[in-house]
């Protein structure tokens, strides 16, 4: 039966030793871990809102295509109505009566098609607006994520340089990142 054990490298040993005996490095390490967690949440939200925007954009395209189909159908009925009107003008007797009935039928069918086409156009417009709103929120999440990543990098440089001023810049960048994340959460 063999037992496994890990022998830390000299570097790992030194880092662990410093973290235990260096409160400054320990605080920065904890803050870096918190920043990384916040960054992971921001990254998730950025991806989710981008996917939402794409779904709305797809919905807008589908509704726009359906509206176009309805308008094409409407145009076809108009063409048939025009031909029937021409036939009614040129024909006499029973043929003329048949063409007049067709004209009325095409008018009625067009009246039914138009509201559906307009409804689909409106649905397309609404989906497009939702897509744009979601992309705006996505950009907020992406901005927040970028700033939190910058604060993580600044925190790492702070540990290396032991520069307290840089520590406050890292905290400031994180605070701005969280504020932008709050705006994204509020859909602003």
pLDDT of residue 53: 97
User: From CA 142, how far away is CA 45, in angstroms rounded?
Assistant: 9
pLDDT of residue 188: 85
> Residue 64 belongs to what H/E stretch?
helix 23-90
Count of alpha carbons within 13 angstroms of residue 158, beta-carbon side: 23
pLDDT tens digit string along 92-145? 899 999 999 999 999 999 999 999 999 999 999 999 999 999 999 999 999 999
Alpha-carbon distances, residue 117 vs 42, 63, 64, 68 (angstroms): 40, 9, 9, 7
User: From CA 46, how far away is CA 150, in angstroms rounded?
Assistant: 17
- Over residues 147-166, the mean pLDDT reads 93
pLDDT band at 24 (very low <50, low <70, confident <90, very high): confident
pLDDT of residue 8: 72
**Picking from 10-14, 40-44, 70-74, 133-137, which range would have the lowest pLDDT averaged per residue?**
10-14
User: From CA 80, how far away is CA 102, in angstroms rounded?
Assistant: 9
pLDDT higher than threshold 70 for residue 150:
yes
CA torsion 108→114→117→120, rounded to 10°? -110
pLDDT of residue 81: 94
pLDDT of residue 22: 78
pLDDT higher than threshold 90 for residue 56:
yes
CA torsion 72→78→80→85, rounded to 10°? -170
**Picking from 2-6, 36-40, 172-176, which range would have the lowest pLDDT averaged per residue?**
2-6
Closest residue by Cα to residue 63 from 119, 130, 115 = 119
pLDDT of residue 10: 72
What pTM was computed for the model? 0.73
pLDDT higher than threshold 90 for residue 25:
no
At residue 22, what are phi and psi to the nearest 5 degrees? -125, 95
- Over residues 39-46, the mean pLDDT reads 96
pLDDT of residue 11: 59
pLDDT of residue 87: 92
């Amino acid at each position: 039966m063999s037992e496994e054990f890990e022998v830390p490298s000299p570097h790992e040993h030194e880092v662990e030793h410093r973290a235990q005996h260096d409160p400054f490095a320990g605080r920065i390490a904890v803050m870096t871990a918190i920043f990384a967690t916040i960054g992971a949440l921001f990254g998730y939200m950025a991806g989710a809102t981008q996917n939402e925007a794409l779904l709305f954009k797809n919905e807008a395209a589908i509704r726009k295509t359906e509206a176009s189909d309805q308008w094409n159908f409407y145009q076809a009925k108009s063409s048939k109505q025009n031909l029937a009107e021409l036939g009614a003008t040129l024909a006499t007797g029973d043929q003329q009566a048949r063409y007049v009935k067709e004209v009325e039928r095409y008018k009625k069918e067009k009246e039914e098609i138009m509201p559906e086409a307009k409804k689909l156009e409106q649905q397309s417009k609404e989906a497009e607006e939702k897509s744009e709103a979601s992309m705006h929120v996505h950009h907020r999440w992406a901005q927040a994520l970028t700033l939190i990543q910058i604060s993580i990098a600044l925190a790492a440089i702070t540990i290396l340089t032991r520069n307290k001023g840089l520590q406050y810049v890292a905290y400031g960048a994180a605070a701005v990142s969280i504020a932008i994340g709050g705006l994204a959460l509020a859909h602003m």
